[in-house]
Chains A and B, each alone.
Chain A
Amino acid sequence: AQSVAQPEDQVNVAEGNPLTVKCTYSVSGNPYLFWYVQYPNRGLQFLLKYITGDNLVKGSYGFEAEFNKSQTSFHLKKPSALVSDSALYFCAVRDPSLGDYKLSFGAGTTVTVRA
Protein backbone atom coordinates (compact mmCIF):
# COMPACT_ATOMS: atom_id res chain seq x y z
CA ALA A 1 0.00 0.00 0.00
CA GLN A 2 1.10 3.57 -0.58
CA SER A 3 -0.03 6.67 1.24
CA VAL A 4 0.89 10.24 1.93
CA ALA A 5 0.24 12.47 4.91
CA GLN A 6 0.26 16.24 4.90
CA PRO A 7 -0.05 17.12 8.58
CA GLU A 8 -0.95 20.77 8.10
CA ASP A 9 -4.23 21.88 6.56
CA GLN A 10 -2.99 25.43 6.33
CA VAL A 11 0.32 27.28 6.30
CA ASN A 12 0.45 31.03 6.64
CA VAL A 13 3.62 33.03 6.03
CA ALA A 14 4.59 36.61 5.32
CA GLU A 15 5.94 37.49 1.90
CA GLY A 16 9.70 37.18 1.83
CA ASN A 17 9.81 34.60 4.60
CA PRO A 18 10.73 30.96 4.10
CA LEU A 19 7.92 28.57 3.24
CA THR A 20 7.80 24.91 4.22
CA VAL A 21 5.02 22.46 3.44
CA LYS A 22 5.37 19.11 5.14
CA CYS A 23 4.83 15.66 3.66
CA THR A 24 5.49 12.16 4.91
CA TYR A 25 4.94 9.00 2.94
CA SER A 26 4.51 5.29 3.33
CA VAL A 27 5.39 2.72 0.67
CA SER A 28 6.73 -0.78 0.81
CA GLY A 29 9.60 -0.12 -1.58
CA ASN A 30 11.47 2.89 -2.89
CA PRO A 31 9.09 5.77 -3.51
CA TYR A 32 8.58 8.09 -6.42
CA LEU A 33 7.54 11.40 -4.84
CA PHE A 34 5.87 14.44 -6.38
CA TRP A 35 4.64 17.89 -5.49
CA TYR A 36 1.80 19.58 -7.32
CA VAL A 37 0.15 22.97 -6.91
CA GLN A 38 -3.47 23.83 -7.61
CA TYR A 39 -4.97 27.27 -8.10
CA PRO A 40 -8.73 27.80 -7.67
CA ASN A 41 -10.82 26.00 -10.28
CA ARG A 42 -7.73 24.79 -12.09
CA GLY A 43 -6.04 21.46 -12.59
CA LEU A 44 -2.81 20.43 -10.92
CA GLN A 45 0.52 21.84 -11.99
CA PHE A 46 3.65 19.79 -11.54
CA LEU A 47 6.33 21.37 -9.33
CA LEU A 48 8.99 18.74 -8.83
CA LYS A 49 9.71 15.06 -8.34
CA TYR A 50 12.11 12.70 -6.67
CA ILE A 51 12.82 9.42 -8.43
CA THR A 52 16.41 8.64 -7.53
CA GLY A 53 19.74 10.36 -7.06
CA ASP A 54 20.36 13.58 -5.19
CA ASN A 55 18.08 13.93 -2.19
CA LEU A 56 17.60 17.64 -2.81
CA VAL A 57 15.53 18.29 -5.88
CA LYS A 58 14.81 21.67 -7.41
CA GLY A 59 11.67 22.46 -9.28
CA SER A 60 9.57 25.17 -10.80
CA TYR A 61 9.06 28.69 -9.40
CA GLY A 62 11.98 28.45 -6.97
CA PHE A 63 10.63 25.48 -5.04
CA GLU A 64 12.76 22.63 -3.79
CA ALA A 65 12.19 19.52 -1.74
CA GLU A 66 14.40 17.18 0.23
CA PHE A 67 13.93 13.46 0.25
CA ASN A 68 14.71 12.00 3.67
CA LYS A 69 14.49 8.25 3.67
CA SER A 70 15.07 7.75 7.39
CA GLN A 71 12.24 10.14 8.25
CA THR A 72 10.12 9.10 5.24
CA SER A 73 9.61 12.75 4.45
CA PHE A 74 9.59 14.93 1.37
CA HIS A 75 9.02 18.49 2.59
CA LEU A 76 8.52 21.27 0.06
CA LYS A 77 10.46 24.48 0.63
CA LYS A 78 10.91 27.92 -0.82
CA PRO A 79 13.46 30.33 0.66
CA SER A 80 11.41 33.47 0.04
CA ALA A 81 7.67 33.17 -0.45
CA LEU A 82 5.64 35.36 -2.80
CA VAL A 83 1.99 36.34 -2.53
CA SER A 84 1.47 34.52 -5.82
CA ASP A 85 2.53 31.26 -4.12
CA SER A 86 -0.80 31.24 -2.29
CA ALA A 87 -2.49 28.06 -3.48
CA LEU A 88 -3.32 24.47 -2.56
CA TYR A 89 -0.34 22.13 -2.52
CA PHE A 90 -0.46 18.36 -2.88
CA CYS A 91 2.20 15.81 -2.14
CA ALA A 92 1.87 12.51 -3.99
CA VAL A 93 3.61 9.16 -3.96
CA ARG A 94 3.85 6.21 -6.28
CA ASP A 95 5.25 2.81 -5.48
CA PRO A 96 6.87 1.61 -8.72
CA SER A 97 6.91 -1.98 -7.49
CA LEU A 98 3.12 -2.05 -7.87
CA GLY A 99 3.47 -1.90 -11.63
CA ASP A 100 0.91 0.83 -12.29
CA TYR A 101 1.00 4.58 -12.54
CA LYS A 102 -1.47 5.40 -9.81
CA LEU A 103 -0.59 8.27 -7.53
CA SER A 104 -1.75 8.56 -3.95
CA PHE A 105 -2.31 12.15 -2.92
CA GLY A 106 -2.15 13.80 0.45
CA ALA A 107 -5.10 15.80 1.72
CA GLY A 108 -3.52 19.03 0.56
CA THR A 109 -2.13 22.07 2.35
CA THR A 110 -3.50 25.53 1.71
CA VAL A 111 -0.71 28.07 1.64
CA THR A 112 -1.48 31.71 2.25
CA VAL A 113 1.27 34.26 1.77
CA ARG A 114 0.36 37.69 3.12
CA ALA A 115 1.84 40.85 1.75
Chain B
Amino acid sequence: GAVVSQHPSWVICKSGTSVKIECRSLDFQATTMFWYRQFPKQSLMLMATSNEGSKATYEQGVEKDKFLINHASLTLSTLTVTSAHPEDSSFYICSANPTGKATGELFFGEGSRLTVL
Protein backbone atom coordinates (compact mmCIF):
# COMPACT_ATOMS: atom_id res chain seq x y z
CA GLY B 1 0.00 0.00 0.00
CA ALA B 2 0.81 3.72 0.08
CA VAL B 3 1.85 4.08 -3.53
CA VAL B 4 2.36 7.48 -5.13
CA SER B 5 2.54 7.67 -8.89
CA GLN B 6 4.03 10.50 -10.91
CA HIS B 7 3.57 11.09 -14.61
CA PRO B 8 5.43 11.66 -16.81
CA SER B 9 8.73 10.20 -15.63
CA TRP B 10 10.66 12.08 -18.28
CA VAL B 11 9.68 15.09 -20.33
CA ILE B 12 11.57 17.19 -22.82
CA CYS B 13 10.05 20.44 -24.00
CA LYS B 14 10.95 23.56 -25.89
CA SER B 15 11.63 26.82 -24.12
CA GLY B 16 8.44 28.84 -23.66
CA THR B 17 6.06 25.92 -23.48
CA SER B 18 4.21 24.70 -20.41
CA VAL B 19 4.53 21.27 -18.86
CA LYS B 20 2.12 19.53 -16.51
CA ILE B 21 3.26 16.87 -14.02
CA GLU B 22 0.72 14.71 -12.23
CA CYS B 23 1.01 13.20 -8.77
CA ARG B 24 -1.51 10.57 -7.76
CA SER B 25 -1.96 8.63 -4.55
CA LEU B 26 -3.10 5.23 -5.77
CA ASP B 27 -4.38 3.52 -2.66
CA PHE B 28 -4.97 6.27 -0.13
CA GLN B 29 -6.42 9.73 0.13
CA ALA B 30 -4.16 12.70 0.65
CA THR B 31 -5.46 16.05 1.80
CA THR B 32 -1.91 17.34 1.60
CA MET B 33 0.76 16.73 -0.98
CA PHE B 34 4.18 18.30 -1.34
CA TRP B 35 6.22 19.25 -4.37
CA TYR B 36 10.00 19.22 -4.28
CA ARG B 37 12.73 20.13 -6.67
CA GLN B 38 16.06 18.36 -6.68
CA PHE B 39 19.26 19.36 -8.45
CA PRO B 40 21.88 16.73 -9.27
CA LYS B 41 23.39 15.15 -6.18
CA GLN B 42 21.67 17.65 -3.94
CA SER B 43 18.95 17.51 -1.36
CA LEU B 44 15.27 18.06 -1.92
CA MET B 45 14.04 21.63 -1.90
CA LEU B 46 10.43 22.02 -0.85
CA MET B 47 8.61 24.16 -3.38
CA ALA B 48 5.06 24.15 -2.12
CA THR B 49 2.40 22.43 -0.09
CA SER B 50 -0.59 21.37 -2.15
CA ASN B 51 -3.90 21.46 -0.27
CA GLU B 52 -7.00 19.70 -1.58
CA GLY B 53 -9.73 22.20 -2.33
CA SER B 54 -7.69 25.29 -1.54
CA LYS B 55 -4.72 27.27 -2.75
CA ALA B 56 -1.25 25.88 -2.49
CA THR B 57 1.19 27.32 0.00
CA TYR B 58 4.48 28.27 -1.63
CA GLU B 59 7.86 28.38 0.03
CA GLN B 60 9.79 31.60 0.03
CA GLY B 61 11.42 32.34 -3.27
CA VAL B 62 9.20 30.04 -5.33
CA GLU B 63 7.21 31.85 -8.02
CA LYS B 64 3.58 30.86 -7.73
CA ASP B 65 2.78 32.11 -11.22
CA LYS B 66 5.61 30.05 -12.61
CA PHE B 67 4.79 26.83 -10.82
CA LEU B 68 1.03 26.39 -10.80
CA ILE B 69 -0.30 23.79 -8.40
CA ASN B 70 -3.78 22.36 -8.46
CA HIS B 71 -5.09 19.78 -5.97
CA ALA B 72 -8.46 19.00 -7.45
CA SER B 73 -9.20 15.78 -5.61
CA LEU B 74 -8.00 13.76 -2.64
CA THR B 75 -5.83 11.63 -4.91
CA LEU B 76 -4.45 14.05 -7.48
CA SER B 77 -2.20 17.07 -7.44
CA THR B 78 -0.70 18.65 -10.54
CA LEU B 79 2.30 20.91 -11.00
CA THR B 80 2.40 23.00 -14.16
CA VAL B 81 5.66 24.67 -15.09
CA THR B 82 4.55 27.62 -17.17
CA SER B 83 6.66 29.17 -19.92
CA ALA B 84 9.48 26.81 -19.12
CA HIS B 85 13.08 27.88 -19.59
CA PRO B 86 16.31 25.87 -19.45
CA GLU B 87 16.91 26.91 -15.83
CA ASP B 88 13.68 25.09 -14.91
CA SER B 89 15.27 21.82 -15.94
CA SER B 90 15.33 19.68 -12.84
CA PHE B 91 14.02 16.58 -11.11
CA TYR B 92 10.62 17.22 -9.57
CA ILE B 93 9.31 14.90 -6.86
CA CYS B 94 5.97 14.83 -5.13
CA SER B 95 5.07 13.27 -1.82
CA ALA B 96 1.84 12.64 0.02
CA ASN B 97 0.73 12.18 3.56
CA PRO B 98 -2.19 9.79 4.00
CA THR B 99 -5.12 11.69 5.44
CA GLY B 100 -5.54 10.98 9.12
CA LYS B 101 -2.12 9.38 9.57
CA ALA B 102 -0.61 12.13 11.66
CA THR B 103 2.59 10.41 12.68
CA GLY B 104 3.31 8.68 9.44
CA GLU B 105 6.06 9.05 6.96
CA LEU B 106 5.56 10.72 3.62
CA PHE B 107 5.31 8.57 0.54
CA PHE B 108 7.16 9.75 -2.52
CA GLY B 109 6.55 9.49 -6.21
CA GLU B 110 9.24 8.25 -8.55
CA GLY B 111 10.03 11.74 -9.73
CA SER B 112 9.73 13.54 -13.05
CA ARG B 113 12.79 14.72 -14.92
CA LEU B 114 12.15 17.87 -16.89
CA THR B 115 14.56 18.99 -19.58
CA VAL B 116 13.86 22.32 -21.25
CA LEU B 117 15.69 22.89 -24.51
**Per-residue B-contact encoding for A74-103, CB less than 8 Å = 1, 0 else:** 000000000000001010000010001111
Query: Considering the chains assembled together, what is the distance between the CA atoms of A35 and B39 in angstroms?
Result: 19
Q: Is the CB of A105 within 8 A of B44?
A: yes
**Chief secondary structure at chain B's binding surface:** strand
Given contacts A32-B103, A46-B105, A46-B107, contact A107 B42 (CB under 8 A): yes
Which residue among B34, B49, B97, B108 has the maximum number of chain A CB atoms within 10 Å of its CB?
B108
- For chains A and B in complex, what number of residue pairs have CB atoms within 8 angstroms? 54
Tell me if B32 is interfacial: C-beta within 8 Å of chain A: yes
Give me the interface of B with A, judged by CB distance under 8 Å: 4, 6, 32, 34, 41-44, 46, 49, 91, 93, 95, 97, 102-103, 105-111, 113
8 further A-B contacts with Cβ under 8 Å, apart from A43-B109, A103-B95, are A34-B106, A41-B91, A43-B4, A44-B93, A51-B103, A90-B44, A103-B106, A105-B44
